[in-house]
Amino acid sequence: MGGFPTVTDVALAAGVSRQTVSNVMNSPGIVRADTRERVEAAIKELGYRPHASARRLRTRRSSTIGIRLDPMIDGISGSVLDRFLHALTEQADAQGLRVLLFTATSPEDEITQFRRLNDGADVDGFVLTSTFAGDPRTRWLIENGISFVTFGRPWGVDDMNDPQHLWVDVDGWSGLQDATRAQQEAGARRIAYIGWPSPSGTGDERRRGWYDAMTLRGDVSASDLARLEVVTTDGVSQGTAAMQRLRQQAGQVDAVLCASDSLALGAMIANPERVPVTGYDNTPVAAAIGLSSIDQAVDEVAAGVLELLTGEFGGKVHGAPESDEPRHRLIAPRLVVREFAAIPMDVAR
């Protein structure tokens, strides 16, 4: 028999119709057991593999997950999404799923891509990253009944109880609280924080972890606590400027916690006193320079995303059975403590 085996070849070998072969592959429950066994034996003997494109058109199932490839913000904090993407792709492959990457210039452009990929049956669902309050992407997907899971909670709604959102996130509050407590247990009292402007769902959660741990301990007054905080946009140079400002307004500090490794690296550059600095994201840069950091456990995040996307809810609650199963996964981060290394000021030049 020349070329690749076809449905017709399988039907002839099993002594059934082409439709019966199709039923065995797509709806085996409606085929009699003895007939199904003959067809399966013929498929195995001939080495038949269904044509993926044709099967996708028939079943509207592609075994493919779509995810936007975010633009690289910088070479430090941007690596977190890269690591998540690698973890998602590897774990999806182990489950027989593929990951389709696409780009978009804005949330509205991403919605256009959703529509195009859904209309062409190119994907079965989407994974979203970089969520924010009032996110139009999740609203559009819910309104159109399309499966999705977000890496990042749906800020601005009752995310713990909202039945329309399936999400996985890392608990930034507990990460910064653990980091603060670790410094307190080491003897630090005046623990400073360099974070992002509010409102920022992710940034506000991380700041709250530091603030709650500091106020619970009560080592510093409210006015002194205000001097121990500096707010800035993300980036290495911004972290350096924030550290310099912190030293001017707060004087001597015992430790510094940062909302990202980018800010932490900048803080280390302006740190001649070798004050302990802790970042967030546990990037390769943090490991290379000996920076303590909070790890986001992206392998666990990817596993949670796939569980919600392919499990009982199928990436959406519309039409899903009533269940007590949580509609979200909140992953506990891990503090990675490293031997402190100071970076001289001239490194930045």
- Reference 128, options 166, 171, 79; nearest CA is 166
- pLDDT of 221: 92
Query: Per-domain residue ranges for the chain?
Result: 7-50, 64-164+298-331, 172-296
- pLDDT of 195: 97
Mean pLDDT of the chain: 86
E strand or H helix at 273, and its extent?
A: none
E strand or H helix at 249, and its extent?
A: helix 236-250
- Residue pair 168/151 in contact by the 8 Å Cβ criterion: yes
Categorize the per-residue pLDDT at 347 as very low, low, confident or very high, splitting at 50, 70 and 90.
very low
Could you please state the CATH topology (level 3) that the domain comprising 172-296 is classified under: Rossmann fold (3.40.50)
At residue 36, does pLDDT exceed 70? yes
Residue type, 109: D
**Higher pLDDT, residue 114 or 310:** 114
Could you please state the CATH topology (level 3) that the domain comprising 7-50 is classified under: 434 Repressor (Amino-terminal Domain) (1.10.260)
Compute the average pLDDT of residues 281-287: 91
Ranges 120-124, 257-261, 310-314, most confident: 257-261
Burial class (CB in 10 A: 0-12, 13-18, 19+), 231: middle
Q: What is the CATH number of domain 64-164+298-331?
A: 3.40.50.2300
- Residue pair 99/89 in contact by the 8 Å Cβ criterion: yes
CA distance 41 to 249: 77
At residue 74, does pLDDT exceed 60? no
Q: What angle do CA 88, 90, 91 make, to 5 degrees?
A: 65
Compute the average pLDDT of residues 332-344: 76
Ranges 47-61, 236-250, 302-316, most confident: 236-250
- pLDDT of 168: 94
Residue 98, CA distances (Å) to 66, 67, 94, 123, 310 in order: 9, 11, 9, 9, 13
Contacts of 26 (CB under 8 A, 6+ apart): 55, 58, 59
Same CATH topology for 7-50 and 64-164+298-331: the answer is: no
Neighbours of 34 (CB within 10 A): 7
Quickly list DSSP for 235-248: SHHHHHHHHHHHHH
- Residue pair 196/259 in contact by the 8 Å Cβ criterion: yes
- pLDDT of 148: 92
Q: What angle do CA 67, 71, 75 make, to 5 degrees?
A: 120
- pLDDT of 50: 65
- pLDDT of 158: 66
- pLDDT of 182: 96
The helix/strand/coil state of 277 is strand
Compute the average pLDDT of residues 161-181: 90
- pLDDT of 326: 65
Neighbours of 95 (CB within 10 A): 9
Categorize the per-residue pLDDT at 18 as very low, low, confident or very high, splitting at 50, 70 and 90.
confident
